[in-house]
Amino acid sequence: MEPDPAAAQAVVGECARLRRTLLVSSSADARRSLHGRPNFMAVILEHDLPDGSGMQVLKACRAAYPRMPVLMLTATTTSEVINRCHALRAEFVAKPAHRRSVRAFLQRSLAFERVPDSRVAHVIEDLVHNYQLSPRETDVLAAAIGGIPRRTVADQIGTTENTIKSIVRSLLRKCSAENLEDVVRTVWIQALAGSESEEQELAPESVRPAQFTIPPPSGGTSQ
């Protein structure tokens, strides 16, 4: 929700690449929507709204969806606003918001929807950036990590299993991987390794677990 029409359409454009998007322009409409739609992937809020504060909407969102990813767009970057966002487990971006910041948040949210683990979400975000994965490729990868069958994924995003196979082939080509299972295994290894990074820094090299990475792409990265 964003009161400025041009800014709102820019945010909606990014969201619509991944999921069906609901746009509201008041805190009252937002609170009604939160109680009426239990299947949101994520919420993007504006701090300053015509009929109140986006912080009140954030509180209502947390009451209804304790773990849902939320992004607060704000031109007010005081310590009070930032601390309240942190306390309510919301990310924030100072306005004017760059598309890349919104896109990165959506990529993390998409991964978290499929696999509710923030470590996995951040590894997927790195893959998207390093290998220029498309929104569909990101979605299919996250679904594979979550163990969701391809037929189910095809139904959810409104396409066919053959299209899913084409998306997988493109993803593997960009990552220079032989099969999707290798990519999924690498994501889990890096996610688990990342959660133990502090312990690894304190351990001798001889007892540290090996680090795995997908080899850099050998060809172009654009789809």
Q: Is 106 exposed, middle or buried (0-12, 13-18, 19+ CB in 10 A)?
A: buried
Torsion of CA 172, 110, 134, 221, to 10 degrees: -60
Alpha-carbon separation of residue 189 from 83, 170, 184, 203 (angstroms): 32, 22, 9, 18
In a domain, 218, yes or no: no
User: What is the pLDDT averaged over residues 2-12?
Assistant: 72
- Please check whether residue 103 is in contact with residue 132, taking contact to mean a CB–CB distance below 8 angstroms: no
Domain that holds residue 100: 5-104
Residue type for 19, please? R
Residue 28 has φ and ψ, to the nearest 5°, of -65, -45
Least confident stretch, 35-49, 114-128, 154-168: 35-49
Q: Which helix (H) or strand (E) holds 71?
A: strand 70-74
Return the pLDDT at 100.
Answer: 82
Q: Residues 90, 133: one domain?
A: no
pLDDT at 102 over 50: yes
The structural domain count of the chain equals 2
Residue 95 has a pLDDT of: 83
**Both structure tokens of 82:** 């930032």
> Both 177 and 155 in a single domain?
yes
Q: Which residue has the higher pLDDT, 121 or 219?
A: 121
Residue 32 near residue 41 (C-beta atoms within 8 A): no
How big is the CA angle at 150 (ends 124 and 181), to the nearest 5 degrees? 50
Q: What is the pLDDT of residues 45-73, one digit of tens each?
A: 988 888 878 898 999 888 888 888 999 99
* Assigned domain for 217 exists: no
Indicate the pLDDT class of residue 87, thresholds 50, 70 and 90.
Answer: very high
Q: Is residue 214 part of a domain?
A: no
Residues forming a β-bridge with 52: 49
- Whether pTM exceeds 0.85: no
26 and 61 together in one domain: yes
**Is the pLDDT at 202 greater than 80, yes or no?**
no
Domain membership flag for residue 212: no
The token duo for 38 is 């239990």
Please name the residue ranges forming H helices in the chain.
5-16, 27-36, 54-64, 79-87, 99-114, 118-131, 135-145, 150-157, 161-175, 180-195, 197-202
Percent above pLDDT 90 for the chain: 29
Nearest to 63 by CA among 22, 91, 25, 35: 35
Q: Tell whether the model's pLDDT for residue 194 goes beyond 80.
A: no
Q: How far is CA 59 from CA 5, 9, 72, 179, in A?
A: 24, 24, 12, 43
pLDDT at 174: 95
| pLDDT for 201 | 46
Same domain for 15 and 67:
yes
Check which CATH number belongs to the domain holding 195 and give it: 1.10.10.10
**What interhelical angle do 180-195 and 161-175 show, nearest 10?**
60
